[in-house]
Amino acid sequence: MTIIDETAESPAPDGAQDAGRPLLEVRDLHVEFSTRDGVAKAVNGVNYSVAAGETLAVLGESGSGKSVTAQAIMGILDMPPGRIPKGEILFRGQDMLKMSGEERRKIRGNKIAMIFQDALSSLNPVLSVGYQLGEMFRVHQGLSKKEAKAKSIELMDRVKIPAAAARVNDYPHQFSGGMRQRIMIAMALALEPDLIIADEPTTALDVTVQAQVMDLLAELQREYHMGLILITHDLGVVADVADKIAVMYAGRIVETAPVHELYKRPAHPYTKGLLESIPRLDQKGQELYAIKGLPPNLTRIPSGCAFNPRCPQAQDICRTDIPQLFPVTEQDGGELAGRGSACHFWKETIHG
């Protein structure tokens, strides 16, 4: 009989010391830019977190601050004109905003990797794809040219590029848009990071290819048990892959919810508008854009709730008081885990 001594000291499995703690936690992050028109307040107190193995989708119209938040996390913000007047970005509990340049460089690529929308401008056109993938291994892991090439082929296989060994010496322009995006995913995965930030990774692709690339990303994320932040302005893209959603408007999170809850019962008028803007096959010919007006100029964000000039439910209080992210509950007060809405009238919105 085998006796398991539960009191015996055994080495903690990788990551076990972080159990229960989010991989990444953004706290009260503010980012502003000096512009000719004045100070553009692009991010105004964002809070979100991602755990290992979890996918957070960040959703919002153009200019809502999704990419700027991601750039702040990656440490690739243009500073100046950008500035982070306030906030914390904790990676495994350590504030990256307080780290030295050298410490941050070690995290970038190794621990947190990013995938951008436009693979063609992210890849070097005059170097083969195999060379660019191999560089990750040569530079970061000191592998020989031959070993790096073998690793590159293996990675190209992992992201399901057909005939990887035959194509490893091809140049970026010889691949289709979807295949190039797979190469970007391979580059992000190369050093087996803990967290990937994908900023509109499929926006430049046509719809069928979008779904394939998204499925691949989700599959790899599960396999590697990574955290994934998926930035998009397209609600349709994230429904099947995200665990939870943070909706952004004018640099704030206006609603957070587990993904299916958000679709079923939005608790913020802006989210409601976004959902009503998704084209539906049974409503051909109907107006797609349910939200009237445009997002605000970030140098002159409206007082109170930033959404008030566009909101069909706005009341006087909305023009004076900034709504905090209120916990959203059932009508009888029952808890709805992970739900929040920055709307004075969230109750009416979800239960009304």
Ligand X SMILES: Nc1ncnc2c1ncn2[C@@H]1O[C@H](COP(=O)(O)OP(=O)(O)OP(=O)(O)O)[C@@H](O)[C@H]1O
Closest to 179 in 3D by CA, of 205, 218, 145: 205
Cβ closer to Mg ion: 160 or 233?
233
Largest Cα–Cα separation, the chain? 77
Q: State the nearest-atom distance from the C-beta of 85 to ligand X, in Å.
A: 14
- Site map (CB under 6 A) of ligand SF4, residues 304-343, x = contact: -x-xx--x-xx---x----x-------------------x
Please tell me whether residue 60 binds ligand X under the rule CB under 6 A: yes
- Helices H / strands E in the chain, number of each: 12, 12
Which does residue 63 touch among Mg ion, ligand X, ligand SF4, none (CB within 5 to 8 A, set by kind)?
ligand X
**Whole-angstrom distance, CA of residue 112 vs CA of residue 102:** 15
Q: Cα-Cα-Cα-Cα dihedral of 180, 183, 185, 190, to 10°?
A: -170
Judged by CB under 6 A, how many residues of this single chain contact ligand SF4?
13
Stretch that binds ligand X, among 76-84, 92-100, 107-115, 273-281 (CB under 6 A): 76-84
Cβ closer to ligand X: 64 or 308?
64
Closest to 298 in 3D by CA, of 134, 60, 123: 60
Please tell me whether residue 269 binds ligand SF4 under the rule CB under 6 A: yes
Where helices occur in 231-334 by DSSP H, the ranges are 235-238, 259-264, 269-276
Q: Strand order of the sheet with strand 195-199? A: 112-115, 195-199, 227-232, 55-59, 244-249, 252-258, 335-341, 326-329
Q: State the nearest-atom distance from the C-beta of 232 to ligand X, in Å.
A: 8
Q: Please, which of residues 52-71 interact with Mg ion by CB under 5 A?
A: 67
294 SS3 class: coil
Amino acid present at 94? Q
Please tell me whether residue 81 binds ligand X under the rule CB under 6 A: yes
Q: What are the residues binding ligand SF4 (CB under 6 A)?
A: 268-269, 305, 307-308, 311, 313-314, 318, 323, 343-345
Q: What are the residues binding ligand X (CB under 6 A)?
A: 33, 35, 40, 42, 60, 62-68, 78, 81-82, 233, 298
Q: What are the residues binding Mg ion (CB under 5 A)?
A: 67
